């Protein structure tokens, strides 16, 4: 599997999106308690997907993503 499509890279992308959504919500002073979906809900969903994808990835894929060699066995 290539590093571009590995779960580790998808996890990193989801977590970056979560950070961007949270930063945007903070800068816009979005209300946290509303009856509809807001930026904080979207940031939480991105964070959940990023962490879940990270748990599903293999450690070798994360090493490959950052250009490190896999450990010798």
Q: 16 vs 2, which has greater pLDDT? A: 16
Its pTM stands at 0.81
32-60: per-residue pLDDT in tens?
Answer: 888 999 999 999 999 999 999 999 888 88
Report in angstroms the alpha-carbon separations of 58 from 2, 4, 19, 35: 13, 14, 23, 38
């Amino acid at each position: 599997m290539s590093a571009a499509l590995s779960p580790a890279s998808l996890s990193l992308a989801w977590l970056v999106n979560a950070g961007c959504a949270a930063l945007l919500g903070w800068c816009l002073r979005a209300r946290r308690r509303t009856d509809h979906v807001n930026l904080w809900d979207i940031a939480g969903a991105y964070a959940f997907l990023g962490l879940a994808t990270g748990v599903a990835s293999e450690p070798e894929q994360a090493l490959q993503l950052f250009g490190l060699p896999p450990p010798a066995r």
